[in-house]
């Protein structure tokens, strides 16, 4: 975050003594090398024996300095687990600033322990195994490698991270991809600093708050300063393993987040940061100069006249402008929330999404369309906090603007194939309007008050029409036309252009559809545009058994995979977008055959989330099957997992239905 920070000349005489927790750990003995019980789970590569941390404030020459002390002990279970001996710490470091203004990692100590001939052998890490690299203009990465680590080894490491950036108390994560036997964390915060503190996750932790007192020298005198100590303790935390249908697994780990909401120092004016979303807006206005960025001159004012926007609707105007801008400027693959000068990208011809978005907003303004940033946290970074307004959790924005009826539309310049209300997957996140007065139309999709859920944007669909015949030799032969709209079109285009050539695409489709493709063509697979069409001519095997022929009336199943086979799940299920899939198949029966067995129409639902229907009708010698799948809510909580499993099993049965034809 590019944030102005306040520093005060203070001297801290006394600090509460550091206590890593009530539970004490003795020196490592031979008994500690027994195979851990957690190793019975083949997915476990290592075990955290303990992870202990403490954040507190000490005096420094130019103010208070924050120190976070970390101590970890782990046992390595598999060969893959040896990677835990290679650790890295990323911290703020701007070479243009003085050392006192940067963070630093100090007092690194690490060792491995092995059992050799019944004796514990310790191998300490020397400084030659510690490396630093400046990864960006403001971030440093410190890496260290613990030597002599084998399967069965125990490793131990500790370090201190010092920081003058009191606004950035690090998030403490208790739960990891490996099981944790014991975790303990304390944070002691002076009363001058007011933080939002949010404990997240589903594991059970002991937690408490205690009041304590610090003796501080202020303006030559000693004063007592109240402080709050937060303490968290947990045991036997289950591993948080990678799951499908989740955008940010870390978002659901057991953790505690801190975000500065205000600073109140005696004799100083109270500085408020993020008590409310209006505070966040004010901060962005003052510190990020968002108002002035939205007033930049349209660099394409003259060229826009060729777009012939007069008399067109807002969505059409916005789409034409977006396509035009993308023909002029390219996205540089960066998402940002702050930029100095959006017009600076014109010379290079590319820029971050918000630099392009600011220019897009200037073009919308000249077309008579009001717009404002929708401030978001990308899906891959996790959801916005549930209990407080946040500046730290925001990391970019998309452009929001009302149509003629006041309904909000959204766009972003980062995708080659995006459009109005067609956003990249990672940006279909939760957001807050910078100008909440951009429209007076109620937000039907708002969640948790002012927060918009962009994954609930409607109009995403795939419509499939199949016309085929059952040939005398027992094959289905015909044509399939797929029309993808909205997000579904964007996804198709991205997948299409990832393939080396059309031959590779055909081979991939033949494998997935289990058919032979004799012709393949697409329409509108390039650039901006909501709909893309794909046509294939195919032949597909049926099951022939004597005078009977069996085939799937959908022809190509919509769903064939059971993604939800685990007995339980602690994480929610997140689908990409609200969308509808419709398949209409018309199968012409071969002469001399009649339908002997026909599946019954069926509807299955996970109320409020998902629904699938299928129906059948004979029209002369044609079997017409209509199938529809609806994703109405993209976020399914873990409490619904058992119902989701039941629903999905029924969906798979629907997709595997068979029609039996018999020779008459």
DSSP assignment string, 218-265: ETTEEEEEEEEEEEEEEEEEPP----SS-S-GGGGSSEEEEEEEEE--
Mean pLDDT of 277-305: 93
Residue-wise pLDDT for 158-197, tens only, equals 999 999 887 788 889 999 999 999 999 999 998 888 888 9
> Which range has the worst mean pLDDT, 3-7, 60-64, 623-627?
3-7
Q: ∠ CA 383-387-393 to the nearest 5 degrees?
A: 40
Name, of 57-66, 374-383, 435-444, the range with top average pLDDT: 374-383
Give the model's pLDDT for residue 221: 64
Q: Where are the alpha helices (DSSP H) in 516-570?
A: none
Give the model's pLDDT for residue 385: 82
Read off the pLDDT band of 1 (50, 70, 90).
Answer: very low
Say if residue 58's pLDDT is above 60. Answer: yes
- Paired tokens of 272: 């408020």
* Residues above pLDDT 70, as percent of the chain: 92
Give the model's pLDDT for residue 277: 86
Residue-wise pLDDT for 559-606, tens only, equals 999 999 999 888 899 999 999 999 999 999 999 999 999 999 999 999
Give Cα 447 distance to the centre of its chain.
17
Residue-wise pLDDT for 351-406, tens only, equals 999 999 999 999 999 999 999 999 999 999 988 887 788 888 899 999 999 999 99
> Which range has the worst mean pLDDT, 56-70, 308-322, 414-428, 478-492?
56-70
Give the model's pLDDT for residue 128: 92
Say if residue 146's pLDDT is above 70. Answer: yes
Say if residue 109's pLDDT is above 80. Answer: yes
Mean pLDDT of 541-552: 93
Mean pLDDT of 217-242: 82
Burial class (CB in 10 A: 0-12, 13-18, 19+), 444: exposed
Question: Which among 220, 286, 237 is positioned nearest to 4, based on CA atoms?
Answer: 286
Alpha-carbon gap, residue 63 to 57, rounded angstroms: 10
Give Cα 408 distance to the centre of its chain.
23
Say if residue 6's pLDDT is above 50. Answer: no
How would you label 374-390 residue by residue, b for 16+ Cβ within 10 Å and e otherwise? bbbbbbebbbbbeebbb
- Please, which residues bridge with residue 374 across strands? 398, 433
Give the model's pLDDT for residue 2: 34
CA quadruple 421, 422, 423, 425: dihedral positive or negative? positive
Q: How many CA atoms lie within 13 A of 49 on its CB side?
A: 23
Give the model's pLDDT for residue 33: 94
Are 406 and 15 in contact by the 8 Å Cβ rule? The answer is no
The helix/strand/coil state of 40 is: helix
- Paired tokens of 188: 């002691």
Question: Which among 33, 252, 243 is positioned nearest to 152, based on CA atoms?
Answer: 33
Alpha-carbon gap, residue 243 to 177, rounded angstroms: 11
Provide the mean pLDDT of the chain.
Answer: 89
Say if residue 218's pLDDT is above 60. Answer: no
């Amino acid at each position: 975050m590019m944030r102005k920070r306040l520093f005060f000349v203070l001297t801290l005489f006394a600090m509460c003594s550091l206590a890593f927790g009530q539970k004490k750990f003795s020196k490592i003995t031979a008994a500690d090398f027994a195979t851990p019980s957690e190793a019975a789970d083949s997915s476990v590569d290592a075990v955290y024996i303990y992870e202990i941390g403490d954040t507190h404030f000490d005096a420094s020459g130019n103010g208070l300095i924050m120190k976070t002390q970390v101590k970890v002990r782990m046992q390595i279970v598999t060969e893959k687990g040896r990677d835990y001996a290679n650790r890295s710490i990323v911290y703020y470091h701007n070479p243009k600033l003085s050392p006192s203004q940067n963070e630093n990692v100090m007092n690194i100590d690490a060792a491995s322990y092995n059992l050799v001939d019944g004796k514990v052998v310790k191998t300490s890490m020397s400084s030659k195994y510690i490396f630093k690299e400046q990864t960006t203009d403001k971030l440093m990465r410190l890496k260290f490698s613990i030597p002599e680590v084998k399967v069965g080894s125990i490793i131990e490491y500790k370090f201190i991270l010092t920081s003058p950036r009191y606004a950035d108390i690090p998030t403490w994560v208790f739960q990891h991809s490996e099981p944790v036997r014991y975790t303990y964390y304390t944070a002691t915060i002076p009363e001058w600093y007011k933080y939002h503190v949010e404990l997240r996750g589903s594991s059970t932790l002991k937690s408490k708050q205690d009041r304590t007192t610090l003796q501080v020298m202020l303006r030559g005198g000693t004063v007592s300063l109240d402080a709050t100590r937060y303490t968290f303790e947990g045991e036997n935390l289950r591993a948080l393993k990678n799951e499908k249908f989740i955008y940010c697994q870390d978002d659901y780990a057991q953790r505690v987040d801190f975000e500065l909401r205000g600073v109140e120092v005696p004799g100083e004016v109270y500085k408020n940061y993020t008590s409310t979303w209006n505070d966040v807006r004010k901060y962005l206005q003052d510190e990020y100069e968002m108002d002035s960025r939205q007033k930049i001159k349209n660099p394409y004012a003259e060229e826009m006249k060729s777009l012939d926007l007069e008399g067109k609707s807002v969505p059409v105007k916005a789409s034409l402008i977006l396509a035009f801008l993308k023909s002029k400027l390219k996205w540089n693959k960066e998402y940002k929330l702050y930029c100095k000068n959006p017009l600076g990208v014109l010379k290079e011809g590319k820029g971050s999404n918000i630099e392009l978005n600011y220019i897009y907003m200037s073009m919308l303004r000249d077309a008579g369309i009001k717009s404002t940033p929708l401030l978001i946290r990308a899906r891959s970074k996790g959801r916005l906090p549930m209990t407080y307004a946040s500046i730290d959790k925001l990391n970019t924005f998309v452009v929001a603007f009302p149509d003629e009826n006041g309904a909000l539309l959204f766009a972003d310049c980062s995708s080659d194939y995006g459009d109005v209300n067609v956003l990249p997957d990672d940006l279909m996140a939760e957001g807050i309007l910078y100008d909440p007065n951009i429209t007076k139309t109620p937000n039907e999709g708002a969640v948790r008050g002012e927060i918009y859920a962009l994954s609930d944007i409607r109009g995403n669909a795939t419509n499939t029409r199949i016309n085929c015949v059952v040939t005398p030799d027992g094959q289905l032969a015909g044509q399939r036309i797929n029309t993808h709209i909205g997000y579904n079109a964007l996804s198709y285009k991205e997948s299409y252009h990832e393939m080396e050539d059309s031959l590779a695409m055909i081979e991939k489709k033949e494998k997935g559809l289990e058919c032979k493709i004799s012709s393949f063509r697409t329409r509108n697979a390039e650039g901006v545009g909501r709909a893309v069409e794909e046509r294939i001519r195919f032949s597909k095997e049926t099951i022939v058994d004597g005078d009977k022929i069996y085939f799937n009336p959908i022809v190509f199943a919509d769903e064939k995979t059971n993604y939800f086979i685990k007995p339980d799940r602690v994480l929610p299920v997140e689908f990409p977008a609200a969308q509808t899939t419709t398949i209409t198949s018309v199968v012409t029966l071969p002469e001399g055959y009649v339908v002997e067995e026909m599946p019954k129409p069926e509807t299955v639902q996970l109320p409020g989330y998902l629904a699938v229907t299928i129906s059948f009708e004979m029209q002369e010698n044609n079997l017409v099957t209509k199938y529809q799948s609806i994703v109405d809510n993209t976020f399914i909580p873990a409490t619904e997992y058992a119902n989701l499993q039941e629903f999905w099993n029924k969906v798979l049965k629907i997709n595997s239905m068979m029609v039996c034809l018999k020779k008459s």
